[in-house]
Structure 1
Amino acid sequence: MDRIIDAVDRHGVRWVGLVQGEGASATAWQVEGAESSQALAVRFMRSKQTWEHFKSGLSLTAVPVEALASMTFNVPLRPALDAVCMVSGFGYTHRSVNGLPMSERSSPDWYYKGNGKGLVGASRAIKSPCHASGAGIEIEYACVYLIDDCRNPRYIGYTLAVDFSDPVLRHTQPGLAGLSKLRNTALCHELVIAEPPRHTAVRSSIVRRGEIVWDKQSLLGLDQLMFTKRELEALLFQHEELCEPGTVHYVLLGASLSTDKDAFELQHGDVIRASSQEDGLQLSNLFEDEVVRQSCNC
């Protein structure tokens, strides 16, 4: 499977590439003439070709995989203008959370998480604002769509996401539950140009002062959903207001891991780790509480 990456090299030069494979067996290429991963995706969308056909026309230069270690990665496909980016997600979609079965639902929840300003990369800090009541995470897949010139959503690929939210606000003031989701969303730096896996194990852990204080594994993937991906897409993109040409949508498919289900509260300085087995996607994000940061001027 091809993965799009968007990075800045050690010389400060923007770099768009393709990666195949994982770890030591991975191979990487730079896409010549691609100014950003979003620009590359727009070219792909407008070509109306299959990915393989489109890729065959790209000018690719082989790059040593070791060179990726010195790069700073951007969120794949994130547009330069935050206003043309929308982050949202579905809840109560998975058959199991934290390895435990969930009750069947007739319809999912949907929530808005903000524009591109709230997106953070796979190794950057997730921040809780001063007005927050609490902090929790959920691990899920995010599908990425581009709205084409005819106002149609075009699926580009998927990645692993940390859905950060305020569960204390959600529980104590249910009427403000929507506001509890207006928090950062962390995304893996690789966008996989394929459908999400049918079935895979996903794991997340919280490391506090060098010790693992929360660790869970569950199942993630299309076969674990109570609703098909097509049904979720139809629910969202039937609304014309969400289909402005050029908009990039990051759509979370729902969690299979949740700190809130265990009544676990994040603390300033915690490290959030997540990985999915089938595709090897990984994230590691530091959690920062703005109240703590401001009180100690750190």
Structure 2
Amino acid sequence: MRLIQFENTHGQRQVGVVEGSQLSVVKATASTRELALSAIRAKHSLQEEVSKRGTEAGPDYAALLQNRQILPPLDHEDPAHCLISGTGLTHLGSAAARDKMHQHDGEVEAGMTDTMKIFKWGIEGGKPAAGQVGAQPEWFYKGDGSIVVRPGSDFPVPAFAEDAGEEPELTGLYVIGDDGLPCRLGYALGNEFSDHVMERRNYLYLAHSKLRFCAYGPEMRVGELPRHLSGMSRITRNNEVIWEKEFLSGEDNMCHSLANLEYHHFKYTQFLRPGDVHIHYFGTATLSFADGVKTRPGDRFQISLDAFGAPLENGIGEGMPALGIGQIKAL
């Protein structure tokens, strides 16, 4: 089952089940989060909750995408209660581009870079036996729900940004139950959107480079994730493709199990606040930046993967104002 959230012609939020070119609208439901919390409390699956509520014929899916009425497939009415985070160096092949960034003039200082050390730890211990804790991955905070851009819309770019680059990834979508336990609702395509020029300058700037807008969706895939996933990441400029490349995901293409990545995020008790939403990016091995692409306002990203239905598309907007020097007040 694949779910979306959208705005109808009256501006009201609804949840839809994707069934070909048409949607089936879930009755008496205004959000995926509400649907999920009801399912958790009833101790049954999301599919069962949808079946219990019933559906009715809905609008044309392509028209909603065209009109940018599609919302992220999971969010929170209070953006402060939606946490965006992620992990890096999780995919086989993800270390090469990162390692180049973190060398100096092509030379490794004092042996292996920290990038390669973390990647090696993942290769050796990222897929532990069931019930065991594996190697800890790289982790980053990206922001709260206020940085999420709906599918189809443009990414705002801070005035101080040095780069506006895509990162095609899978995301895990979670709600924390009343008992404080996280519940994964499903997965969605994601564009993690980062400043790779800043990151390349020094790996300690990784945290800065991640504080950018992001997108995920348009659909949430509910159920088991295939172990091998092959998709395409594209950039168009003036309606022409200027770069495209296959990206691989799924556990067969990763050095960490999804369970291990989830554990190392949710082991922190501050992430277990009942009712909160978490969107977690699982990493990538494919970046246009690594191939020397320099994006600019007006470019558009497209991330597609057949198992996730419609592609995730977003553009690069114009620069947005930033806080100026001397604008911080003292009381």
Deviations 1:160-182 (A, max 9, x none): 00110111111124322201101
1:224 and 2:253 aligned: yes
1:162 maps to which of 191, 194, 201: 191
Deviations 1:160-213 (A, max 9, x none): 001101111111243222011011111122111123321121101111122211
Residue 59 of structure 1 is matched in structure 2 by 54
CA contact (8 A) 1:158 1:195 kept: no
Distance 1:245 1:37 in 2: 16
Q: 1:267 to 1:71 in 2, by over 3 A?
A: closer
Residue 178 of structure 2 is matched in structure 1 by 149
Residue 16 of structure 1 is matched in structure 2 by 15
1:43 and 2:38 aligned: yes
CA contact (8 A) 1:92 1:105 kept: no
**Where do 5+ consecutive residues of structure 2 fail to align?**
100-115, 123-136, 322-331
Helix, strand or coil at the partner of 1:233: helix
Distance 1:47 1:142 in 2: 25
1:266 and 2:265 aligned: no
1:96 and 2:93 aligned: yes
Q: How many residues align?
A: 286
Q: 1:106 to 1:36 in 2, by over 3 A?
A: same
Deviation (angstroms), 1:71: 6.5
CA RMSD of aligned residues (A): 2.3
2:319 maps to which of 267, 290, 294: 290
Letter in 1 for 2:260: E
Distance 1:50 1:291 in 2: 42
Helix, strand or coil at the partner of 1:203: strand
Residue 84 of structure 1 is matched in structure 2 by 81
Deviation (angstroms), 1:11: 2.7
CA contact (8 A) 2:219 2:308 kept: no
Letter in 1 for 2:87: F
Distance 1:236 1:291 in 2: 31
Residue 171 of structure 1 is matched in structure 2 by 200
Distance 1:122 1:66 in 2: 13
Residue 236 of structure 1 is matched in structure 2 by 265
CA contact (8 A) 1:144 1:158 kept: yes
Distance 2:33 2:212 in 1: 23
Helix, strand or coil at the partner of 1:106: helix
Deviations 1:38-59 (A, max 9, x none): 2112212222113343333112
Helix, strand or coil at the partner of 2:284: strand
CA contact (8 A) 2:68 2:152 kept: no
CA contact (8 A) 1:87 1:115 kept: yes
**Structure (1/2) with the larger strand percentage:** 1
Letter in 2 for 1:242: F
Helix, strand or coil at the partner of 2:226: coil
Counting aligned pairs with the same residue, the percent is 30
TM-score by length of 2: 0.80
CA contact (8 A) 1:8 1:73 kept: yes
Distance 1:53 1:288 in 2: 40
Letter in 2 for 1:14: R
CA contact (8 A) 1:140 1:255 kept: yes
Residue 106 of structure 1 is matched in structure 2 by 121
Deviation (angstroms), 1:88: 0.5
Higher Rg: 2
Residue 220 of structure 2 is matched in structure 1 by 191
Deviations 1:229-251 (A, max 9, x none): 11111111111011111110000
1:134 maps to which of 145, 163, 169: 163
CA contact (8 A) 2:35 2:49 kept: no
Distance 1:158 1:111 in 2: 19
CA contact (8 A) 2:173 2:187 kept: yes
Q: 1:195 to 1:118 in 2, by over 3 A?
A: farther
Q: 1:63 to 1:172 in 2, by over 3 A?
A: same
Distance 1:57 1:39 in 2: 14
CA contact (8 A) 2:172 2:280 kept: yes
Helix, strand or coil at the partner of 1:7: strand
Distance 2:229 2:12 in 1: 36
Q: 1:138 to 1:192 in 2, by over 3 A?
A: same
Deviation (angstroms), 1:26: 4.5
Helix, strand or coil at the partner of 2:198: helix
Letter in 1 for 2:56: T
**Where do 5+ consecutive residues of structure 1 fail to align?**
293-298
